[in-house]
Amino acid sequence: METIQKFPVLVDTTEITLRVSHKEFEKLCQDNSELRLELTSTGEVIAMAPTASGTSEKNCNLSAQVYLWNLKTRQGEVFGSDAGFTLPNGAVRSPDVTWIQNPKFENISLDVSFPLVVPDFVIELKSKTDSISTVQEKMIEYEDNGVRLSWLINLENNEVEIYRLGQEVEILESPRTLSGEDVLSGFSLDLSEILKLPIEKEG
């Protein structure tokens, strides 16, 4: 009997718009675990390019800072870019950093691949391959779905866009630190290794 070798089903999303159900999306992710995929609220599959090594290093830096703060405070749970969450509008998103407060996390069902939850805090790191308008649309989507605080860090122009629930977007140029405000109480993000900032002179 001839053995048929199976290969993952790869989808060229540059030529077509693929729309699937949530169940189909889960199967697609399982069959193509090497791909980074997201699902829009209209069911469109989005394939994201692999992260460049420099950007990946900065992502690790961001996750580590939030993780170490959370390790001390035990206020919630931290997730990296490989975790996907379903927003109330039906989109499945994988922010570069996600933080969920304890009371909300305790009610999440971990039996599903992409649990339905509104994160309390997210970070998106824009690299050269990302479209700024596309990432900004995601940030607005986070806010519209109830994310309390989110940061868009733009590596190309050393800017940070701060999205707060129900408020206007604040844009900071070359900030050295970011406050977690009343969402991540006591947390301060050090951007000295993330953005291209001049060295501060002593004295």
Residues 111 and 73 in one domain: yes
The tally of domains found in the chain comes to 2
154: its two tokens:
């733009």
Residues 151 and 185 in one domain: yes
Residues 105 and 171 in one domain: yes
pLDDT tens per residue, the chain (203 residues)?
Answer: 555 555 555 555 456 678 999 999 999 999 988 888 999 999 999 888 766 667 889 999 999 999 999 999 999 999 999 899 999 999 999 999 999 999 999 888 878 889 999 999 999 999 888 899 999 999 999 999 999 999 999 998 999 999 999 999 999 999 999 999 999 999 999 999 898 776 665 54
Residue 111: CATH number of its domain: 3.90.1570.10
Look up the domain containing 1 and give its range: 1-48
Handedness of CA 42, 44, 45, 48 (dihedral sign): negative
The pTM of this model reads 0.86
